[in-house]
Chain A
Amino acid sequence: MSLAWLLITPLAAFVAVLSARSRPRMQALVIMAMALCSCILSAALFAAGPAPLTYAPGGWGEPLGILLRADPLSRLMLLLTGVLFSAGAACHLGQTWQGGAPTGRPVYHMAFPLLLLALNCLFMTADFFNFYVCFELVAVSSYLLVAMGKHAPFEAAWKYSAQSVIGSICLLTAICLLYSWTGALSMADVTARLETPARWAAPLLLVAFLLKGAIFPFHFWQPDAHAAATTPGSVLLAGLLVKVGLYGLLRFWPLLLGASLEKAFLVIGAASILFGAIAAWRQSDAKRLLGFSTVSQLGFVLLGLGMGSPGALGAAVFFLVAHSLAKSLLFLATGSVTDRVGQTAFAELEGAGRGMPMASAGYLIGALSLVGMPLTAGFVGKIGLLAEGARLALWPWVGLLALASVMTLGYCVRAYQCLFWGPAHARPLAGRANLGSSGAIAALSLVVLLIGVAPAPLWEWSLASADALIAARLERGAR
């Protein structure tokens, strides 16, 4: 199968959405079909095995052309994109059908195909400048998802886009520095020609990706953006957009500094975990709590990068996927409750989830996976990181991991209790959960449990991705 289909599908859907301008239900259906197509295509790519696959657009190969390549990490991210985008699109479809989506703004629907196109291209590109362009495209299409929300969205959108532009200035500078040192832009060539680690580019890359990934000192935009976005918007933001930053870190990891930067990763990761957990504990808003929980959980991925062994990197990749699934599930479940009330503060939401068994079950499964309970997807990633930490004798970090899991359990239980167990809601609630959301919650819960019961295939893929990254690091400066 040619990789180009993963780009042609969203492009065609974009044209279709554009031409069905005044019919929002039609647009939502097209978006759903596009997401399912992308999911099937990436699943087929996944089933074809981990051997790298390249595609030269227009027949222009190396060194002139800009290649698309699907290595294990790319395929994992593509499949994740397909699955989560389908979940988000289902929720969007349900909302649109009920008339709950901001349908007065046609541009909102156009953001979805654009976002899928940008994400697919970003995860496949084998060229650093193309990576930058896709990074921008992802950012711009996600601004729309934040800016079209119902609750005071422009402030959040301003915060998000202003910081994001600063991040992309850093990324652009770093990529141009890499070009000036190596005279190449393709990822393989730059890695091979770079003799010393990318010393001066490293801080720029770190700022760009930590901003995008919402890691501790650069997290400030993220809870606001999550709270302001529409429900499908926050599902995609938490599940995919934030992961773009971490994917960038993984992709550029072979170029970065050695031991000193690994220490920095460990420290930043630990700070992010602690700060995010404490801040999540103190939130009085259901969506902001989940936003800070993302800040906390993604610190674990940084710990994996900091440990730097194949096992730890593999566990970090696994954890990334598991977190995406669990957090999307949590946002879907929370979103179906908050959409019912029209508020996101806990004080307004008490007991609002009563009589929503699907949302309640989904929230529970997502929360358990986030904590790292056995038989859910989160368990294997966390236990892998713990085991590697113990093997490398990083005892303070092992303790931190355990502590953070307990804190995660604490804030998840608090939110769950308030939403689903509280006394019956004071006001009569309009409407039921939309069918699309419920379907997406059921499907994602199933995936989380399935990975928890049979983690072996995903674990193999994560290890294969880690091995490819480490091989790239060893190749650095070979030419």
Chain B
Amino acid sequence: MTAVYAVAVGLLFTIGCYQLLGRDLLRIAFGIYMAFNGVNLLIMALGTVPTGAAPFAQLRGPYVDPLVQAMVLTAIVIGFGLATFLLILAARLAQARNTLDAEAMRRWRR
């Protein structure tokens, strides 16, 4: 299970960082969101026991850390909110400037 998490986190980070390096504002926003979800998955991975038992302390046997679940829930909400904000900002930029090219932003500066 840990290996699956590790690969998934790595993939999300890699793809996210690759998207970040592009010029398209939408791709940058989605890249950031993917990297953010990579972190969320990393948090999940911290609280999982290898056998994959229930997130509930009343049962016998191994259970996952409930605090991690609370943390990841908060982080998901924050990440989603931030991604939405970035997308709206990109949309407003596109409306005002008629382009989504990050290189073009450089030219607008005085």
Interface residues of A in 136-173 (CB under 8 A from B): 136, 140, 143, 147, 152, 154-155, 157-159, 161-162, 165-166, 168-169, 172-173
Interface residue? B64 (CB, 8 A): no
CB distance from A171 to the nearest CB of B (A): 10
A285 to B96, CA, bound (A): 23
Whether B42 pairs with A154 at a CB distance below 8 angstroms is no
Interface size class on chain B is 20 to 34
Q: Which residues of B contact A162 (CB under 8 A)?
A: 28-29, 32, 86
How many Å from the CB of A152 to the closest CB on chain B? Answer: 6
**In the complex, what residues of B have CB within 8 A of residue A345's CB?**
110
B32:A157 contact, CB within 8 angstroms:
no
Contacts of A129 in B (CB 8 A): 71, 74
**A166 to B, closest residue via Cβ:** B32
Which B residues touch A143, using CB under 8 A? 85, 89
Cross-chain pair count, CB within 8 angstroms = 69
Are A154 and B96 in contact, with the CB atoms below 8 A? yes
Residues in A neighbouring B25, C-beta threshold 8 A: 158
Task: Compute how far the CA of A378 lies from the CA of B25 in the bound complex, rounded to whole angstroms.
Answer: 41
Is A11 positioned at the interface, with any CB of B under 8 Å from its CB?
no
Chain B residue numbers with a CB within 8 Å of A154 are 89, 92-93, 96
Contact in complex: B42, A173 (CB < 8 Å): yes
B90 touches A152 (CB 8 A): no
Any B CB within 8 A of the CB of A409? no
Contacting pair B92 A179 (CB below 8 A): no
Q: Which residues from B are CB-within-8-Å of A176?
A: 39, 42-43, 46, 71
**With an 8 A cutoff between CB atoms, is A133 at the interface?**
yes
In the complex, chain A residues 195-214 whose Cβ is within 8 Å of any chain B Cβ: none
> What are the 7 closest A-B residue pairs judged by CB atoms, nearest first?
A180-B46, A154-B93, A176-B43, A155-B105, A165-B82, A165-B32, A136-B78
Give chain A's interface residues, CB within 8 Å of chain B: 129, 133, 136, 140, 143, 147, 152, 154-155, 157-159, 161-162, 165-166, 168-169, 172-173, 176, 179-180, 185, 224, 285, 345
14 A-B interface contacts by CB (under 8 A): A133-B74, A154-B89, A155-B93, A155-B105, A158-B25, A158-B105, A161-B86, A166-B20, A168-B78, A168-B82, A169-B32, A176-B42, A180-B46, A345-B110
Give the interface of B toward A (CB within 8 A): 20, 25, 28-29, 32, 35-36, 39, 42-43, 46, 67-68, 71, 74-75, 78, 81-82, 85-86, 89-90, 92-93, 96, 105, 108-110
